[in-house]
Structure 1
Amino acid sequence: MRNKGFLITEAVEPVLIGGGFRPASFSETFQAYNPATGEKLPPLYPVSSWRDLELALKESHQLVPELALTSPEKRARFLSLYADLLEKQRLEIISRAYLETALPAEARLNQSEFPRLINQLRQAAAACEDRSWCQATIDTKLNIRSKYGPLGGLVVIFSPNNFPLAFNAVGGSDLVSAIATGHPVIGKAHPGHPGTTKLMAECLLEALRGSGLPLSTVQMLYHFSSDDGFRLVSQPEVAAVAFTGSRPSGLKLKEAADRAGKLFYGEMSSVNPVFFLPDLIREKAGFLASELFASCSSGSGQFCTKPGLAIFIDDENSRIFLRHLRQVYAEPPSGYLLSPAVQHNLAEAIARLKEAGAELLIGGQPLPGPGFRFEPTLLAISGEQFLKEPAAFQTEAFGTLAVAILVKEASEMIKVAENLEGNLTAAIYYSSSSTADEKLYRQLEPVVRLKVGRLLNNKMPTGVAVSPAMHHGGPYPATNHPGFTSVGIPASFLRLAARHCYDNVSDEYLPEELRAKNPTGRMWRLVDGTWTTEDI
């Protein structure tokens, strides 16, 4: 066993396959970093060989029929118990997540992300018990009935580097959606926080044991090669893939999944433009600059909803706004980047923006250690520059980085909006007391609306509430399908569900949700065109 050419003498962490932790099959290992010091953290984790993936596929595949038939109550019991067990290990999990990510332990991990993790598990459990998510539809005259149910295969989950808890492969929204809809899961941990994932997986295994779900319901691998990832998503046992990460990696996985006819749901890239209309800038230039910087720098700029483009009309008031922006972006960074790769990619992104013609106003350089840090960076271009080469200024990069686009007039602002790629979000800031801002808003909004999943007014896009009304998706390249979301039940469940139709099937052979008697007494069903909780 070797790690970068050296003989491995230390213990290597086991993987979760077949209902328990077992030694991995591997030829190399890796370690997580402490982003605050730049040092590697013990222990060693395996880069699994195809043998591990093959075994995980086998264990998951054999459970497909059993999990499809598990009761909603049993799935809900697992999700609730998992939340309980995570809460018992809260301090240990948060401590490890802080060590591996350097994200603020109290404000971010303890007060925000961990409660979000628990909330989405409990919401999913409640939705399982209620059953309304499956949208049972009944035509009594024709005796045709349908509902959503399992896809008939396993779900593979790839998790991102920036949310060690709430989007973890063994605890995030993709995991709860897969379990709630009756699927076995193969989860790939992110190599940036493997220790956090191990602690969560231990709780998950205990919850499986306590709930009565099969112990092999979830397999967890820490890392594997890109080629093995492409091979994994194209296997016949796989029904769907849920991916959160970079556009290049996501598109390569999607290509492999597409060739095999697999469902692929990828959240990949977003620059989240913010439009500032003139009269509000005149009223609140300093406040708006501070608000943009606070959102852009949140989590050291490592949110997929970070505002990366600021678009406003070039006039006397906007030049004051730009001065305020330069002042706030001159503040020293308060946090760390997640890895040396993030730091390197940020430097490369800034170099590409400058090469394309952007003017560097402030920042632009990595900071010396310890740890992975980078100056807050602000660049500027004209609307004319943007319109000549729109794609050059729309590449997502983690870090406190924003590009100001100064347009000549309202019509050019609308042209910029027309040339935006698909995004998760866009925000329009306007003065409610200004008829001029209102007029421009009404011209701009219809264009922006078709470019994004979530449109905000006078609010920054960083936060993504766990709500049934939330849509965390958008047109390509934000995601590969604008009709689906990874956050917000029941829509997040429906990504991983198939429509099951029953034509002239006797009541006793129907799923409970489609029988004459409402199985819970509170489940909403569409019966002959009317939503009701009544028996038929």
Structure 2
Amino acid sequence: MSTLHPVLIAGQWRAADAPSATFSATNPTTGQLLADDVYPVSSKADVDAVLVAAAQAAPALRATSPETIAAFLNRYADLLEANRDALVAAAHAETGFPTEPRLNSVELPRTTGQLRQAAQAALTRSWTRPVIDTKTGIRSLHEPLGGAALVFGPNNFPFAFNAIAGGDFAAAIAARCPVIAKVHTSHPTTSRLMAECAHQAATEIGLPVGSIQVLYRMDHKLSLGMIENPAVAAVGFTGSRSAGMQLKEVADRHGKPVYLEMSSVNPVFILPDYLAANSEALAAEFFTSCTMGAGQFCTNPGLLVLPGGELGAAFVAAAAAKFAEAKPGVLLNKGGRDSLAEAVETLKSAGATVVCGGEVFDDPGFRYANTILTVTGAQFIADPETLQTEAFGPASLLVLCESGDEMLAVANALEGNLTGTVYANDEGADDAFYTKLAPALRVKVGRLLNNKMPTGVAVSPAMNHGGPFPATGHPFFSSVGIPHAISRFSMLCSYDNVRPHRLPAELQDGNPLGIWRLVDGDWVK
């Protein structure tokens, strides 16, 4: 018998209040509904209750000690690991991603690792960045926002970017902001199991009631209405550009910070001398990167820019052979497959030629043939907007250029991206052109790479998983990388002539916490 699962509101798992509908996830490998687990589409009553609880939790969580926050994040990570078998099985059924190594040995450890990094940052207060100017008597630091973070999770990372466990969640909790998690409807059971671990940890550690809440689905207008509510102080979103821009319009109108990761084709430039020496190996590397996870990575190499002529033709042929021989991976849902098909048609309408693939793969599940398209550099420069359409999946557009000047013109025509890569000869043969290309590409991307595909995103303090619009809504912020990611859910608070005993501990004379502080221009302990 099917079970209608509850929602997590105000510290309790409870039945949804008058849900407007119900839904179940679909197994993308078979195309069949996972009908044993049924989830509610929440009504306004649920949404209102979540907002009231978040408003009540915000001041209590703001006053919670960093030690308690760290204890929660560490305990949560422990519980996720203790329940890994059930989590991995659910995520495999709902996403089609392989259990090994993707879910069990890569993504789940990444998730628990970033929770523990956030716990450490909470303890060290590194994200607060205290500044003391003794001459003026002014001191400042970053403190929690005065409300909740509304987090929208994507479909392509059921663990590491999940609204109830991923980077936005970890950062917001480390900043002592309540989280309202709008989990993705493609993997509700995975999200529920994670939320059960989070709720257990919160109860054991004693987080304020309402610090963590979960809704599965609601009417789109209700989602936008949540942003307008005073209980919500910031929004974190990973998903499509169209959905992200709707959230941004509402958030901007109401003065709310909104952190969006939306779209990126992640251009890869291959310079002539490198290509001449490494064509076959590079074709294999490109194939692996573009088709990994069925191409459903934010940093998938969706645009390659390389020399034309015989050199480019040989690379295209070698890559196309690998793409055509391999069975395409499973896409996350029917909507993703249909969006990919639409994007390929858009590229074709702008003059792109299909070398291989370019059609839905005949299979009970959701698959699209591994696809390579080509255009000339001149074609791209003539219509860069259309030819930068993101084809989210195992597809890439190859731009074949007649000269270095044409490659540079392509770089200058790019929109903002998460990553940009240059493959250049290490012996110096490509250096002269690299010095022209890299500055043009540098301002278009958040992360610049050399001689490696951009697919991986390490959870490192130095990582920037952000970039200029439309990759994200703001080029200054990163959704990955502790402690920088935490600052998104903070506000800069200045204290002017405030008596010493009234200052936060981070700003008091004598540095009672023993943390790094910028005092009169020098970082000291």
| TM-score, scaled relative to structure 1 | 0.96
Q: Of 502, 509, 522, which aligns to 1:530? A: 522
Aligned twin of 1:370: 364
1:177/1:496 contact within 8 Å kept: yes
Structure-to-structure mapping, 1:264-303, within 5 angstroms: 264-303=258-297
Cα deviations by residue, 1:453-512 (Å, 9 ceiling, x for unpaired) = 000000110000000000000000000100000001121011111011111111111111
- 1:423 is the counterpart of 2:413: no
Aligned twin of 2:143: 149
Residue identity matched to 1:401: A
Q: Of 57, 67, 70, which aligns to 1:63? A: 57
Q: Of 374, 382, 396, which aligns to 1:380? A: 374
- 1:446 is the counterpart of 2:419: no
Residue identity matched to 2:397: V
Structure-to-structure mapping, 1:104-119, within 5 angstroms: 104-119=98-113
What is the CA-CA distance between 1:519 and the residue it aligns to? 3.4
What is the CA-CA distance between 1:374 and the residue it aligns to? 1.4
The ranges of structure 1 where at least 4 consecutive aligned residues each deviate by more than 3 angstroms after the TM superposition are none
Residue identity matched to 1:446: P
| Identity value in percent | 50
User: In 1, Cα distance between the equivalents of 2:89 and 2:148?
Assistant: 32
User: In 1, Cα distance between the equivalents of 2:306 and 2:362?
Assistant: 34
User: In 1, Cα distance between the equivalents of 2:422 and 2:55?
Assistant: 47
Aligned twin of 1:465: 458
Residue identity matched to 2:442: R
Q: Which runs of 5+ in 2 are unaligned?
A: none
1:63/1:184 contact within 8 Å kept: yes
Instruction: State the secondary structure of the residue aligned to 1:62.
Output: helix
What is the CA-CA distance between 1:316 and the residue it aligns to? 2.0
Aligned twin of 2:502: 509
Aligned twin of 1:312: 306
Residue identity matched to 2:382: K
Instruction: State the secondary structure of the residue aligned to 1:373.
Output: coil
Cα deviations by residue, 1:184-213 (Å, 9 ceiling, x for unpaired) = 111001000000000000000011011121
- 1:343 is the counterpart of 2:337: yes
Residue identity matched to 1:137: V
What is the CA-CA distance between 1:520 and the residue it aligns to? 2.9
Aligned twin of 1:405: 399
Classify 1:315/1:433 alpha carbon distance in 2 versus 1 (closer, same or farther; 3 Å): farther
Residue identity matched to 2:175: T
Aligned length: 523
User: In 1, Cα distance between the equivalents of 2:90 and 2:238?
Assistant: 22
User: In 2, Cα distance between the equivalents of 1:330 and 1:369?
Assistant: 16
User: In 2, Cα distance between the equivalents of 1:190 and 1:331?
Assistant: 33
Q: Of 39, 43, 54, which aligns to 1:45? A: 39
User: In 2, Cα distance between the equivalents of 1:360 and 1:368?
Assistant: 18
User: In 2, Cα distance between the equivalents of 1:415 and 1:381?
Assistant: 14
Instruction: State the secondary structure of the residue aligned to 1:156.
Output: strand
User: In 2, Cα distance between the equivalents of 1:210 and 1:524?
Assistant: 31
Q: Of 17, 29, 38, which aligns to 2:9? A: 17
Cα deviations by residue, 1:343-376 (Å, 9 ceiling, x for unpaired) = 1111111111111110010011111222111110
Cα deviations by residue, 1:241-268 (Å, 9 ceiling, x for unpaired) = 0000000000011111111111111000
1:205/1:215 contact within 8 Å kept: no
1:331/1:376 contact within 8 Å kept: no
Instruction: State the secondary structure of the residue aligned to 1:274.
Output: strand
1:386/1:393 contact within 8 Å kept: yes
User: In 1, Cα distance between the equivalents of 2:353 and 2:328?
Assistant: 24
What is the CA-CA distance between 1:434 and the residue it aligns to? 4.0
What is the CA-CA distance between 1:334 and the residue it aligns to? 4.9
User: In 1, Cα distance between the equivalents of 2:310 and 2:27?
Assistant: 45
Residue identity matched to 1:349: A
Instruction: State the secondary structure of the residue aligned to 1:155.
Output: strand
Q: Of 182, 189, 194, which aligns to 1:188? A: 182
Structure-to-structure mapping, 1:90-129, within 5 angstroms: 90-129=84-123
User: In 2, Cα distance between the equivalents of 1:132 and 1:254?
Assistant: 29
2:58/2:211 contact within 8 Å kept: no
- 1:490 is the counterpart of 2:474: no
Cα deviations by residue, 1:399-445 (Å, 9 ceiling, x for unpaired) = 1000000111000100000000000001000111242x111111100
1:424/1:453 contact within 8 Å kept: yes
2:53/2:209 contact within 8 Å kept: no
Instruction: State the secondary structure of the residue aligned to 1:366.
Output: coil
Aligned twin of 2:29: 36
RMSD of aligned alpha carbons? 1.1
Q: Of 177, 194, 201, which aligns to 1:200? A: 194
User: In 1, Cα distance between the equivalents of 2:49 and 2:209?
Assistant: 15
Residue identity matched to 2:152: F
| TM-score, scaled relative to structure 2 | 0.98
1:426/1:452 contact within 8 Å kept: yes
User: In 2, Cα distance between the equivalents of 1:46 and 1:430?
Assistant: 52
User: In 1, Cα distance between the equivalents of 2:329 and 2:25?
Assistant: 18
Q: Of 42, 45, 66, which aligns to 1:72? A: 66
What is the CA-CA distance between 1:518 and the residue it aligns to? 2.3
User: In 1, Cα distance between the equivalents of 2:469 and 2:340?
Assistant: 22
